[in-house]
């Protein structure tokens, strides 16, 4: 796992596409959590139902995201809002409107199946703090 600070511009992180190019994500990892930055374009095809043994919190920074949680119902998460999804709850997502959804997903504990998205972080040389 990481042994040093990591500083990067989100737009410069390696991107991993999905949903025929409608979905792009990048990630960094910590000892006990995985942080996934997500860009979900509007008018995308259906997102398959997801279910995993990780707590997940979704923070939306732009756009509107509809999340349907099995057994809990439908939630619309707008810019400046978040939604916690307990482990093992099936869920699906959909971008609403015409704006790309920009969001941060935090998974705990760390997801080994997402580690490939954070290999760049684990290979970098130590970064000195800025002097400003």
DSSP string computed for 37-57: EEEE-SSPPPPPPB--SSEEE
In a domain, 3, yes or no: no
Tell whether 2 is covered by a domain: no
pTM above 0.85, yes or no: yes
**Total of domains in the chain:** 1
How much is the average pLDDT of 4-29?
92
Looking at the domain assignment, is residue 17 inside a domain?
yes
Whether residue 44 lies inside any domain: the answer is: yes
65 belongs to a structural domain: yes
The percent helix, strand, coil of the chain (3-state, each to 5) is 15, 45, 45
Per the domain annotation, does 41 fall within a domain?
yes
Q: Is residue 26 part of a domain?
A: yes
Tell which residue, 93, 131, 132, 124, has the closest CA to residue 5: 124
Q: Whole-number mean pLDDT of the chain?
A: 92
CA distance 1 to 33: 11
Question: In the 8-state DSSP scheme, what is residue 33?
Answer: -
Please report, for the domain that includes residue 105, its CATH number.
Answer: 2.60.120.10
- Residue 34: pLDDT band with limits 50, 70, 90: very high
In a domain, 80, yes or no: yes
Domain hosting 77: range is 10-123
What phi and psi, each to the nearest 5 degrees, are found at residue 51?
-155, 130
């Amino acid at each position: 796992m990481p042994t040093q600070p990591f500083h990067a511009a989100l737009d410069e992180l390696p991107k991993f596409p999905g949903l025929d190019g409608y979905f792009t994500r990048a990630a960094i990892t910590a000892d006990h959590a995985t942080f996934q930055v997500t860009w979900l374009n509007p008018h995308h095809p259906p997102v398959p139902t997801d279910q995993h043994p990780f707590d997940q919190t979704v923070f939306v920074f732009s756009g509107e995201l509809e999340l349907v949680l099995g057994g809990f119902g439908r939630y619309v998460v707008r810019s400046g809002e978040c939604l916690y999804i307990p482990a093992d709850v099936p869920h699906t997502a959909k971008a609403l409107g015409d704006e790309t959804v920009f969001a941060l997903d935090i998974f705990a504990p760390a997801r080994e199946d997402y580690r490939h998205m954070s290999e760049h972080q684990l290979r970098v040389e130590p970064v000195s703090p800025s002097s400003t």
